[in-house]
């Protein structure tokens, strides 16, 4: 795959571990990419808004581009409920603006 190295950012695995240990207190197997992006944004941006984060009415988490085939997956390997509650807390503390879905 060809890419412009000046337009690509790769997260150091140490940052992923930091998020898993310090933010999520080792819950789940590893953080979701959405939560990693949120924490990274908090570190590098002046303002952070969160859109479309959370589970559907059945409690399943999916990617916005994909329809889940297995409706029993819930949050998979990610601690979705923990991530969601942290985002709610950050919103209450006015550190992010959380726009909840349906």
**Calpha distance 48→46 (Å, rounded):** 7
Flag whether pLDDT at 29 surpasses 60: yes
Higher confidence at residue 62 or residue 79? 79
Q: What is the mean pLDDT of residues 11-36?
A: 92
Q: What's the sign of the alpha-carbon dihedral 80, 41, 91, 49?
A: negative
pLDDT at 55: 65
User: Is position 78 annotated as part of the catalytic site?
Assistant: yes
Pull the structure tokens for residue 37: 């992006």
pLDDT class of 63 with cuts at 50, 70, 90: low
Is residue 6 over pLDDT 70?
Answer: yes
Q: What is the C-alpha to C-alpha distance for residues 97 and 2, in angstroms, rounded to an integer?
A: 35
Q: CA 95 to CA 6: how far, in whole Å?
A: 29
pLDDT band at 64 (very low <50, low <70, confident <90, very high): low
- To the question of pTM greater than 0.95 for the whole model, the response is no
Q: Which of 6, 18, 21, 30 is catalytic?
A: 30
Active-site entry in 20, 53, 78, 84: 78
Which residue in this structure is represented by tokens 């997260």?
Answer: 11
């Amino acid at each position: 795959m060809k890419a412009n190295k000046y337009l690509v950012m790769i997260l150091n695995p140490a940052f992923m571990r930091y998020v898993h240990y310090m933010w999520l207190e080792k819950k789940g197997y590893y953080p979701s990419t959405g939560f990693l992006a949120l924490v990274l944004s908090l570190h590098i941006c002046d303002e952070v808004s969160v859109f479309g984060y959370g589970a559907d009415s059945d409690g399943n988490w999916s990617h916005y581009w994909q329809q889940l085939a297995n409706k029993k997956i819930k949050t998979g390997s990610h601690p979705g409920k923990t991530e969601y509650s942290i985002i709610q807390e950050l919103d209450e503390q006015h550190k992010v603006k959380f726009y909840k879905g349906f």
